[in-house]
Amino acid sequence: MDLSSVVVTEGEGYTDEEIAQWMAQQEQEKKDSFFETSSNVGKRYKNKRLSDYIAETDEQKHILETVKQYIKDVNEGKDRTLWMCGATGTGKTLLGSCICYETKGVYCKTYDIKDDLVENHFQRKQTFKKWTDYQSLVIDEVGRCEAEKDFMFQLLNERYENEVSTVIITNLSPSELKEKLGQALYDRFVHNCVSLTFKGESHRKSERSINI
């Protein structure tokens, strides 16, 4: 729709500010709708936003600023790869979900991809293409699915070649991930990507203590 031709009743035109507000509102509604229906983010994180990430230390502040820059780059059409590793309960999945919200991305775990390929093995090529074509994809629990070597190298390589953005989340350390996945796949992970290491106590322990 050409907004320059939109006029209100009695021929009074919209101002540039009103048009900008209308466009921003439309974009926000599209983002909210996609996140609710198509992002695959679980209920626990559906209402989480970047402001929910606790950034107290310099490392946490760096993580938050890096994620914000990643979101900005993706929304500007740049292809980026972000690798988030570290202990359980330190905010990786929360930030991954926020990235999905901010970039109209899709969240999954490695076994979601494996199960999808198994269930649709007669249409493997089309099914695989779906995962390689998402403009923004967040892959969680990397390194914990035994069969992921069979598809992860091809998936990451094709997403890299297609110039689409990928977030990789794992609880394993870099050395553990290399041992788990092998040198070739590990090298594809770390090539041309930003790496963030999450440290500290699990926030989930604190939440459980409060609820007791």
pLDDT band with cut points at 50, 70 and 90 for residue 204: low
- Give the rounded percent of residues in the chain with a pLDDT score beyond 70: 88
pLDDT for the residue numbered 33: 92
Position with higher pLDDT, 3 vs 39: 39
Q: Is the pLDDT of residue 150 over 70?
A: yes
Position with higher pLDDT, 180 vs 87: 87
pLDDT for the residue numbered 12: 56
pLDDT for the residue numbered 5: 45
pLDDT for the residue numbered 11: 41
pLDDT digits (tens, 9 = 90+) for 10-25: 445 788 888 888 998 9
What phi and psi, each to the nearest 5 degrees, are found at residue 16?
A: -60, -40
Average pLDDT over residues 190-207: 74
Structural domains of the chain in order of their starting residue, each with its CATH number: 26-211 (3.40.50.300)
Give CA–CA dist 162/42, Å, rounded: 27
The upper half-sphere exposure of residue 130, i.e. CA atoms within 13 Å in the direction of its Cβ, equals 12
Burial of 121 (0-12, 13-18, 19+ CB in 10 A): exposed
Give CA–CA dist 17/80, Å, rounded: 32
Asked if 123 and 117 touch (Cβ cutoff 8 Å), the reply is: no
Query: Among all chains, which residue has been given the structure tokens 């209920």?
Result: 43
pLDDT digits (tens, 9 = 90+) for 64-77: 999 999 999 999 99
pLDDT for the residue numbered 209: 39
Average pLDDT over residues 176-194: 78
pLDDT digits (tens, 9 = 90+) for 34-62: 999 999 999 999 999 999 999 999 999 99
pLDDT for the residue numbered 1: 44
pLDDT digits (tens, 9 = 90+) for 76-130: 999 999 999 998 889 999 999 999 999 999 999 999 999 999 999 889 899 999 9
**Residue 45: alpha-carbon gap to chain centroid:** 12
pLDDT for the residue numbered 70: 96
